[in-house]
Structure 1
Amino acid sequence: MEVKKCQTLEELRKEIDEVDEKIVELIAVRNDYIKQAADFKQSVEEIKSDERIDEVMQHVRHKALTLGVSPNMVADIYRTMIDEMVETEIAELRNRGAF
């Protein structure tokens, strides 16, 4: 991804705001996929799969390293996001009467 060289603080802030909007949009897309995942699971244990969570965390930490971003910061963000989305997925499972 190309980072634009900004000429003013206002221009820089505008670019950051646009990136923030894209990040939030991508989080919303991820959340929609998480809701769909409940269709394929039968229990809370399946949703709270430590193996899958570890896999995701390793992947995003590695990606952060390759992009020169703090893997600890990315891991912290993902831990919060995963925790919240696990609860969303559990709610979807309950709403479907799976248990």
Structure 2
Amino acid sequence: MDVKKCETLEELREEIDKVDEKIVELIALRNDYIKQAANFKHTVEEIKADDRIDDVLNHVRHKALTLGVSPNMVADIYKQMIDAMVEIEIAELRNKGSY
């Protein structure tokens, strides 16, 4: 990951805004995949797969450590995102009438 050396606070904020846009785009992409996941599941219990959630949290914690980012912060963000996306996936499952 290359970090641009910024010369002004304005330039720095512009770069942060660009990163934020990319983060939101990636969250939207993840959300689209989550909606697809409902096609492969038949119950709410399958969606609320604690083992899978634990695997994801362990994975992102490890990645955060390798990148020098707080693993607790990353895990907290992911917990919140996963909780919201589980609800989205449940809604998708119910919309297809397979619960």
Short-chain TM bin? over 0.9
- TM-score normalised by L of structure 1: 0.99
Q: Give the structure 1 partner of residue 22 of structure 2.
A: 22
- Measured in 2, the distance between the counterparts of 1:96 and 1:58 equals 31
Q: Give the structure 1 partner of residue 87 of structure 2.
A: 87
Structure 1: which 5+ runs fail to align? none
What is the one-letter code of the residue matched to 1:54? D
- Measured in 2, the distance between the counterparts of 1:38 and 1:2 equals 37
Tell me by how many angstroms 1:17 deviates: 0.2
- Measured in 2, the distance between the counterparts of 1:32 and 1:65 equals 27
Tell me by how many angstroms 1:98 deviates: 0.5
Tell me by how many angstroms 1:7 deviates: 0.3
Q: Give the structure 2 partner of residue 62 of structure 1.
A: 62
Are residues 1:35 and 2:35 paired? yes
Tell me by how many angstroms 1:74 deviates: 0.1
Structure 1 residue ranges (4+ consecutive) displaced by more than 4 angstroms after TM superposition: none
What is the one-letter code of the residue matched to 1:90? I
Query: Matched residues, percent identical?
Result: 80
The equivalences for 1:39-58 within 5 A come to 39-58=39-58
Structure 2: which 5+ runs fail to align? none
Are residues 1:7 and 2:15 paired? no
Aligned length in residues: 99
